[in-house]
Chain A
Amino acid sequence: MSTLTKQETAQPAVREAGGLSLALAQGGIEFKQFVRTRESLVFTLLFPVMLMLIFGSIFGSVIITPPGEIPAVTLSQYFVTGMIASGIMATGFQNLAITIPIERDRGVLKRYRGTPMPKWVFFAGKILCVAALAFIAIVLLLGVAVALYDLRLPDTGQKWFTFGWVSVLGLIACTLCGIAFSGVAKTGRSGPAVVTPIALILQFTSGVFFEYSDLPHWMQQFAALFPLKWMCQGLRSVFLPESFASQEVAGSYELGRVALVLAAWCVGGLILCLVGFRWTTKREG
């Protein structure tokens, strides 16, 4: 009786979608939500650009290559690579580690959990959204850097390839760490307080604001444990001249090691995600 009535009244306007199209739809919803939130738009996408403009205006023409060396590298060019890496970290790590606890507080995650949506679709949606945002952030930063700081876009396929894999690996590592780290903040309100200092410390020690090779040895050792330092280094190999490699601590850009460390963080991040992710607040058991 009941099933009969239901079949008669049912007008399936939307058919159940397959996993992949669900993931795309989830990514679309996440992206919509992000771009409609002015705060996140400003702080996640524009903040790195603003920082770049500020630092560029202060240190604009300081040359950091030894006197007479051609081509010369300015501090602002060095800084652009750090800001791109920071932009990737901001959209992946900071963004998710701050917004997921808020969504958990608001019951959004629990509502998804109560549907037949496969768990992975939720994460895939986040990753797709973050990838789109990171792409926009990178384009913005590159645009400003090319226009104002004489940054040269990569001129070989090899360099574009390096740019691609460093960005993608870095983004995956940051995103997974962001999702995993969302379990650390107990409430949405405490998210920024927990996440922002970590991001700042990594930026200061990884060669974003200062030249990595000028930092104290212990600080370099510390930063080398985390992905940001390796993302910066990989990006320097793309945007700074070959000759600048001699200024690196190791005397080269160590691309093999960059790939290894970032890949290790992807695996570690995935494990942390699977172990530490919570759909509900602690209070809800």
Chain B
Amino acid sequence: MVPGVTHEELAISVSGLRKSYADNVAVAGVDLAVPRGEVFALLGPNGAGKTTTVEILEGFRTRDSGQVSVLGIDPARADRDWRRRVGIVLQGTGEFDELKVHEVVRHFARFYPNPADPDEVIERVGLTEKANSRTHTLSGGQKRRLDVALGIVNQPEVLFLDEPTTGFDPAARREFWDLIRQLSHTGTTILLTTHYLDEAEALADRVGVIARGTMIAVSTPAELGGRHLATATVSWREEGGPRSEDTDRPTEVVQRLAASFGGEVPELTVTRPTLEDVYLKMIGENGQEPA
């Protein structure tokens, strides 16, 4: 639970979620609480249970046990009214073949009572120049943007994004991040899964790391895994090869080294873990190969 947030202010709340397929446990007891307006990133290697979790929240998959509530409603009993309030960008691109971009967006807008202007949505995802193109002529990244357009055309209160930027070039990714920030500013709650640590760091208020079907850490990107308190690593070279020492007091170590070397310490570095280091260590401790 998030401290200081009452149940009504949670857009998404999950406790004890479990889901097994015939031969493997995909989700083994996930707890999650996302307050309204938050951007929450779910990090984890392939097969960790990210998509299964998200698709249960989207009402696409059944669960074995646990409590799930999205906008106060159990997605397993999703009705039309709930669907009106939720935006979904699925993993992988959808292909509408011979239809044009604006036709698809316009058609999906028809399903909602208060949709955004389709042309404006196309503009926001950066597809204006392609509005008259058939969808099968779009590049992978452009198809993904169309998916995002369909996910936000209903002006959702909660938006699910499952690996939204796969196939984007770096510039497109930055533009996409801006779009997500805009949506977040208008109060949209966003749950996204991603492989990219920089994406989580750039967008998320909080990140959750999921491995082997369990949530092994939830924190702000800056504090994940105690990163802000993490021990520093002091490395140097001495006779017999490189040496390093993990320490909470790197300055002391450097002073000690300086004294013992009588001046310059060869190849001295002091490093603290990056988000990636922290993440890989967590995943490694959970016995899963990083993706």
Contact B111 A6 (CB under 8 A): no
Q: Are A16 and B110 in contact (CB under 8 A)?
A: yes
Known: A114-B60, A115-B83, A115-B111. A2 touches B188 (CB 8 A): yes
Contact between chains at A9 and B186 (CB < 8 Å): yes
In the assembled complex, the Cα of A149 lies from the Cα of B70 at a distance in Å of: 65
Q: Is the CB of A10 within 8 A of B80?
A: no
Contact of B226 with A by CB under 8 A: no
- Whether a CB of chain A sits under 8 angstroms from the CB of B126 is no
The closest CB in chain B to the CB of A105 belongs to B95
Q: Tell yes or no: A13 within 8 A of B by CB.
A: yes
B57-100: contact bitstring with A at CB < 8 Å (1 yes, 0 no)? 01111100000000000000000110110101010111111110
A106 adjacent to B95 (CB under 8 Å)? yes
Judge if A284 is at the interface, Cβ distance under 8 Å.
yes
Measured in the bound complex, the distance between the Cα atoms of B150 and A117 in whole Å is 13
Chain B residues near A113: list those with CB within 8 A. Answer: 60
A159 within 8 A of B: no
From A2, A32, A114, contact of B83 by CB (8 A): A114
**Is there an interface contact between A22 and B115, defined as CB atoms closer than 8 Å?**
no
In the complex, the answer to whether A10 meets B21 with C-beta atoms within 8 Å is no
In the complex, which residues of chain A have a beta carbon less than 8 angstroms from the beta carbon of B109? Answer: 13-14
Of all chain B residues, which has the CB nearest A110? Answer: B90
Contact A107 B112 (CB under 8 A): no
Interfacial chain A residues near B58, Cβ < 8 Å: 114
CB distance from B144 to the nearest CB of A (A): 12
Given the interface pairs A13-B117, A107-B95, A108-B96, the reply to whether A3 lies near B111 with Cβ below 8 Å is no
What CA separation (Å) do A79 and B61 show in the bound complex?
49
Chain B: CB-nearest residue to A34 = B98
Taking each of B81, B86, B110, B113, which has the highest tally of chain A beta carbons within 10 Å of its own beta carbon? Answer: B110
The CA-CA distance from A41 to B114 in the complex, in Å, is: 36
The yes or no answer to B37 lying at the interface (CB within 8 A) is yes
Please name the residue on chain A nearest to B94 by beta carbon.
Answer: A107
Secondary structure type dominating chain B contacts: loop
Q: How far is the CB of A26 from chain B (nearest CB, A)?
A: 8
**How long is the Cα–Cα vector from A37 to B135 in the complex, in angstroms?**
13
A33 interface contact, C-beta 8 A: yes
Whether, in the assembled complex, A157 has its beta carbon less than 8 Å from a beta carbon of chain B, the answer is no
Proximity string of chain B (123-157) to chain A, C-beta cutoff 8 Å, 1 when within and 0 when not: 00000000000100000000000010010001101
C-alpha gap A223/B188 in the complex (Å): 58
**A29-B103, A33-B99, A116-B83 known; A22+B187 contact, CB < 8 A:** no
> A158: CB under 8 A from chain B?
no
Q: Which of A1-56 contact B (CB under 8 A)?
A: 1-3, 5-6, 9-17, 22, 25-26, 29, 32-33, 36-37
A111 pairs with B99, CB closer than 8 A: no
Question: In the complex, what residue of chain B is closest to A115 when comparing beta carbons?
Answer: B111
Q: A285 interface residue, CB < 8 Å from B?
A: yes
A116-B84 in contact (CB<8A): yes
The answer to the question of B118 belonging to the interface, with a C-beta cut-off of 8 Å to chain A, is yes
In the complex, whether A280 has a CB less than 8 A from a CB of chain B is yes
Q: CB of A118 within 8 A of chain B?
A: yes
Output the nearest chain A residue to B98 by Cβ-Cβ distance. Answer: A36
Q: Give every chain A residue within 8 A of B113 (Cβ-Cβ).
A: 15-16
State the CA gap A255–B108 with chains docked (Å). 44
Q: Which residues of B contact A285 (CB under 8 A)?
A: 21, 61-62
- Cβ A107 vs Cβ B97 within 8 A: no
Bound Cα distance A113, B117 (Å): 22
**Given contact pairs A17-B110, A116-B81, A10 touches B97 in the complex (Cβ within 8 A):** no
Decide if B265 is an interface residue (CB 8 Å cutoff). Answer: no
Instruction: Report the bound CA distance from A175 to B66 in whole Å.
Output: 40
Q: Contact partner of A5 among B97, B106, B107, B186, CB < 8 A?
A: B186
With an 8 A cutoff between CB atoms, is B268 at the interface? no
The CA of A32 and the CA of B98, in the complex, are separated in Å by 8
Bound-state CA distance A111–B93 (Å) is: 10
Apart from A9-B186, A116-B111, A280-B60, 11 more pairs, CB < 8 Å: A2-B157, A2-B188, A6-B186, A6-B187, A11-B117, A12-B114, A14-B110, A111-B147, A115-B154, A116-B83, A285-B62
Q: 10 closest Cβ contacts across the A-B interface?
A: A2-B187, A36-B98, A16-B113, A116-B80, A107-B94, A116-B83, A106-B95, A114-B88, A115-B111, A13-B117
